Structure 1
Amino acid sequence: MQTSSTNSSSFRHVREWVFDLDNTLYPHHSNLFSQIDQRMTGYVSELLQLPREEARRVQKDFYLRYGTTLKGLMEHHGVDPDDFLEKVHDIDYSWVDPDPALGAAIRDLPGRKFIFTNGDKGHAERTARQLGILDHFDDIFDVVAADLVPKPASESYDKFRALYRVDCTRAAMFEDLARNLVVPKELGMTTILVVPNNFEPTFAEIWESDRQRGDVDHVTDDLAGFLRGVAQSL
């Protein structure tokens, strides 16, 4: 494991760059995902006719058990995924500031670049466009393309790598959740955990709070700076 510094040998082999979206490509402090989170609570509350506090408990229970709230709602209540995804992603994207430094860093990486998200493609496109980085990606693999099977389920990664013929031994994956890096690491990817800037808890505390943690190769709280270091080392 390393922090934001990189060594030149770690990424020389990488030609496939895979990025989670929420709280990874945009900074955690932008709080964009809080809008989605609140809309999910409201959706569960309206669907099940529950007070918001109880609806939130149901929402988080489904998230922990199924990987996404949507998966739990589909399993137990037959929710239309298109309706859910449209409503929870009806948010204000201006909360995210454009990040030209991140765009330049992604652009300078050799090989293909993908967004791999448990959200939908429209949300990923709007977010990446607001960041000013959309044009630097070859494609977006969303939860719909994964047949609504979210990370960290191995089936989701299998569909991703089969669709794009990804050589995992030449791939790197960036995520804000360690449990979503377990399968990529097993497949041979280089794994990078992205944590919030100036994160107060120690790395050990982050590690211990993640119920399905894996062997992460690198940790950074500055994605653009980390990628600049990678590009300079290649």
Structure 2
Amino acid sequence: MSSNHDPRPIIWFDIDNCLYSKDAGVDELMKEKIEKYFEKIGIPSDESRMLRHRYYTEYGLAIRGLVRHHKVDPLDYDAQCDAALPLENVLKPDPERQQLLRDIDRSKFRVWALTNAYVNHATRVLRLLGLADYFEAVVSCDYTATAGSFSCKPEPAYYNEALAAANATPAQCYFVDDSALNIKGAHVLGWAKCVLFDEHGDQRPKLGVIDGQGTPTTSTSIWSDLRSGVEVKVVSRFTDLREVWKEVFVQDSK
């Protein structure tokens, strides 16, 4: 750890389907763009669905499989898929999320974003949501890495890259994400305060047994690890972060 280490804990927010509701329909729009892109490079629709699932499972992102196996230019993919999404039609500022981020005690906590998207998409989403000014920095996937060699959540390398960028330790980290796999990935590395944002209840079963030390507790705290200070909680409303992370917010915030 370098001499300019900031002792404040750092709160990592996932972006897509976390800083906005999944009901916005961005996932469905993205699936359509990806399927069209598969068709563009000559992959039939029936095969594209199988490959999209396979690449997501094996590599965390479809683009990584496309680069490795189909020699796709990742920036062309970004232009045709992420950048082509009509986000202006579906994403609007959410006053409750804005207020929640505004109420974080910045004298005690740092606030960063951690996303599997390319930086252009990440900054575009934050701008449309009116949240860009609330984040000190964004850690995003480097689509320009040679042969799709960049890492992403839930790979340990990506979490370690994030820690290095923020000059932080796992014990300093708070983390909220809508993916059970991503939460598990951070938890096993010792990230201290992980929250699964499970808006529709489909992710909670995927947590499974996080590790041999995890034990069920309450309805909101699924696992409280026997390692001191390491825990995983589940919320269905984004504003419930105020309840599970009470220490994060200024005392008179609502």
Relative to the length of structure 1, the TM-score reads 0.82
The letter for the 2-side match of 1:178 is A
| Superposition deviation, residue 59 in structure 1 | 1.2
Q: What's the offset of the Cα at 1:125?
A: 1.3
Q: Which has the higher contact order (CA 8 A, sep 6+)?
A: 1
**Cα distance, 1:34 vs structure 2:** 1.6
Number of residue pairs the alignment of both structures matches: 215
One-letter amino acid of the structure 2 residue matched with residue 83 of structure 1: D
In structure 2, relative to structure 1, the CA distance for the partners of 1:167 and 1:202 (3 Å cut) is closer
Amino acid at match of 1:224: T
Q: Report the RMSD for the aligned CA atoms in angstroms.
A: 2.5
- In structure 1, the residue matched to 2:207 is 207
Unaligned runs of 5+ in 1: 1-12
Matched residue, 2:226: none
Q: Secondary structure at the match of 1:39?
A: helix
**3-state SS of the aligned residue for 2:168?**
coil
Q: Which position in structure 2 is the counterpart of 1:153?
A: 155
Aligned to 1:4: none
Cα distance in 1 for partners of 2:240, 2:196 equals: 14
The reply to whether residue 95 of structure 1 matches residue 84 of structure 2 is no
2:48 to 11, 31, 55: 55
Q: Residue 137 of structure 1 corresponds to which residue in structure 2?
A: 135
Q: Name the CA shift for 1:37/1:121 in 2 (closer, same or farther; >3 Å).
A: same
Residues 201 and 145 of structure 1: CA distance in aligned 2, closer, same or farther (over 3 Å): closer
Task: Give the Å deviation of 1:206.
Answer: 4.2
Q: Distance in 2 between matches of 1:146 and 1:73?
A: 13
Aligned to 1:125, the other structure's residue is in SS state helix
The letter for the 2-side match of 1:187 is L
Q: Which runs of 5+ in 2 are unaligned?
A: 1-6, 215-222, 224-231
CA–CA distance in structure 2, aligned partners of residues 14 and 206 of structure 1: 31
* Counterpart for residue 198 of structure 2: 195
CA deviation map 1:128-185 (0-9, x unaligned): 1121111100111110189521111111111111111022212111111111122321
Query: SS of the residue aligned with 1:191?
Result: strand
**For 1:118, what is the secondary structure of its paired residue?**
strand
Between the aligned partners of 1:107 and 1:15, the Cα distance in structure 2 is 17
Correspondence for 1:73: 66
Structure having the higher helix fraction is 1
What is aligned with 1:29?
A: 23
Displacement of 1:51 in angstroms is 2.6
Aligned partner of residue 117 in structure 1, secondary structure: strand
Q: 1:41 to 1:145 in 2, by over 3 A?
A: closer
Q: 2:236 aligns with which of 216, 221, 230?
A: 221
Amino acid at match of 1:115: A
Q: 1:213 to 1:180 in 2, by over 3 A?
A: farther
In structure 2, the partner of 1:83 is 76
Q: Percent identity?
A: 22
Q: Secondary structure at the match of 1:38?
A: helix
Q: 2:133 and 2:196 mapped to 1: Cα distance?
A: 24
Please report how far the alpha carbon of residue 46 of structure 1 lies from its aligned counterpart in structure 2 after TM superposition. 1.4
